[in-house]
Amino acid sequence: MIEINKSLILLKNEINSIDVRTDSERIRYELYSIYVNLLLSREIFPKNEDIKELCSQLNFEFKDYVYKSRTLIIARFMRKIEQIDSADVTNFFKTARIMVNETVNNLPNKNLPNKNLPKEKKLNFLDKFGRA
């Protein structure tokens, strides 16, 4: 579960590093990787049917058989991203940014210390590995 959280945090950093004022074709290029990671995430979309809400936010929908396979959903999203105009590119980007930021902000923080756990004894490098 920690690895999934790391991938979502990396996705959030990637999205936040993109400036909306840049060329729409560059944003379109980035949208491919963003939406592949977004759609494959079980943290954001536990079931394939949950992706219908995203599609309705982006003002399109697929037939019911498409939602049975994530790879088919991804293929249709890639085709849709290829066909949209520059105004829709920013809409797709803003929707992905909002969704990822909300998900990452709602994740439990694993870095907070737990008071019930015993404190580990700090070892220096030589104590841990010895001398040669």
Task: State whether the Cα torsion 14-58-56-76 is positive or negative.
Answer: negative
CB 103 within 8 A of CB 22: no
User: So what's the pLDDT on residue 132?
Assistant: 57
Alpha-carbon span 27 to 18, nearest angstrom: 8
CB 91 within 8 A of CB 58: yes
User: So what's the pLDDT on residue 35?
Assistant: 94
User: So what's the pLDDT on residue 87?
Assistant: 87
Report the range of poorest mean pLDDT among 31-35, 49-53, 95-99, 128-132: 128-132
CA 18 to chain centre: 14
| pLDDT tens by residue, 54-109 | 999 999 899 999 999 999 999 999 999 999 998 899 999 999 999 988 888 887 66
Q: What are the structure tokens assigned to 50, written together?
A: 């949950």
